[in-house]
Amino acid sequence: MNILIEGAPERYQAYLPEFVPLDRLSLTFCPLGSTNEERLALCPDAEVFLVDAISTVDGDLIRRMPKLKMIHSEGVAFNGIDIQAARERGVFVCNNQGCNAGAVAEQAIFLMLSLLRRGIPGDRAVREGRQIQMKEQAMVEGITELGDCKIGLIGFGHIAKATAQRLAPFGCELFYDSAHRKDPETEKAFSVTYLPLGELLAACDIISLHAAVTPQTCGMVNAAFLSQMKNGSYLINTARGELVDHLAVKEALFSGKLAGAGFDTLSPEPVPADHPLVRLPPEVEDRVVFFAPSRGITRQQLLPRTPAYVVKRCARFQWFPARQHCKCSLMCQTKSRRKSILGMLLRRRAVSQPKPGGILVRRDAIGFAETGDKIGPRAKAQVIGHHLLIAFPTQHRLCGFELPLNNIFPQRLAYMLFKKL
């Protein structure tokens, strides 16, 4: 399999699983920001293209890669990929949804605390020998505790949920708005209350953006949006820079409508030196906090879904030449044989079978599956080294997990086609 990777080789080597069969994979690397011509010159017959979350993959490139089967964003965002062109070519487009939810949630809270506690001017004051003056100023102006704030989450996906979980111990009142209201059980579990957007903006002290970039949300934080926000409130954006009209935010900072704003993403990226929020006068610049988006990535969060693990996913689900492996079809086995194979998986606690006709993935055995997913009828398994790698379609996604092998499990069941029992 030929895999074209946009990024430095070191990023992949740092996380590359030991058992990925690299002898069967051809990895070609191209620098971030490469042109279509440069990409094609390096690997014109790529079957998989792994790209940065902010990369652009247009229809022209997709049509000029005849063997392309999958485009995979190594992050959550994929708005730079021409989905329609991929659909016309039958190319799968994948992302790592939720892969860094916890890390980004912590970054959002860091930005909130930095603004409320005046972290940047405080640091500067200590370094310049003005600690007492800064202390006196804070005593006069007062400091708002995070627990006293009403916080509005716009969007309620993986990152917003992780943010709500981490904010709850502070004692904040949490509100959210999303395209579809969640069920009462979800709202109770995350200690959030639904409010329509207008009411949420007027009520909350901090607005935190967690929405995806769509034609409807692009530029949603404009002058009209900001005018509905509470006077002296704060804006946090750890979602996408395209959600925000940065000139409108600049005006809101100058007018005092916004007490401050925190960003780990801007538009465009890479951020130019003349961006409207980068160059601000001294009386305003301390009310804006930037944090590099890479700081929203942690090894613990990303290890299971790093780009290198996407390579493992390709190896796990890939189109290996069948002649290199022993093959058998579970559908061709006897009913008793099929049940014995399923029984092996059950004994190894990889899956559970709560009722006839359904197999559910267990939490402690998942690779890229979600707990509770029902396995479909066309799962495949393959032995690589001392691991059994199983890939299967579920209701919503292509998933898989791995099991260590011992002498009990026959090696000849290297390439199986599971049938729903």
Pairing mode of beta strands 398-404, 258-263 = unpaired
Residue 332 has phi, psi (to 5 degrees) of -85, -10
Burial annotation 289-318 (CB, 10 A radius, 16+ → b, else e): bbbebeebbeeebbeebbbbbbbbbbbbbb
Same domain? For 228 and 118 the reply is yes
Residue 82 sits in the same domain as residue 115: no
Q: Same structural domain for residues 59 and 117?
A: no
Mark which of 241, 261, 296 sits at the end of a domain.
296
Give residue 96's Cα distance to chain centre.
Answer: 5
pLDDT of residue 75: 76
Residues 153 and 195 in one domain: yes
Higher per-residue pLDDT: 99 or 21: 99
Which of 261, 296, 331 marks a domain boundary? 296
Based on the fold, state whether residues 134 and 62 are members of the same structural domain: no
Q: How far is CA 164 from CA 159, 160, 208, 371, in A?
A: 9, 6, 11, 21
Question: Do 225 and 274 reside in the same domain of the chain?
Answer: yes
> Of 315, 349, 377, at which residue does a domain stop?
315
User: Are 20 and 93 within one domain?
Assistant: yes
Is 409 found in the same domain as 381?
A: yes
Do 93 and 123 belong to one domain? no
One domain, residues 78 and 124: no
* Comparison of pLDDT for 419 and 48, the residue scoring more: 48
Per-residue pLDDT, 309: 54
| Residue with more model confidence, 241 or 331 | 241
pTM reported for the whole predicted model: 0.67
| Exposed e or buried b per residue across 71-106, where buried means at least 16 C-beta atoms within 10 angstroms of its C-beta | bbbbbbbbbebbeebbeebebebbbbbbbbbbbbbb
Residues 272 and 349 in one domain: no
My answer on whether 250 and 135 are in the same domain is: yes
137 lies in which domain range? 101-296
Report the CATH number at residue 163: 3.40.50.720
Judged against a pLDDT cut of 60, whether residue 417 lies above it is answered with no
Cβ-in-10-Å burial (0-12, 13-18, 19+) of 319 comes to exposed
Helix axes 158-167, 101-116, angle to 10 degrees: 50
pLDDT (tens digit per residue) in 271-322: 888 899 998 998 898 899 998 765 445 555 444 445 555 555 555 444 332 2
Domain total in the chain: 3
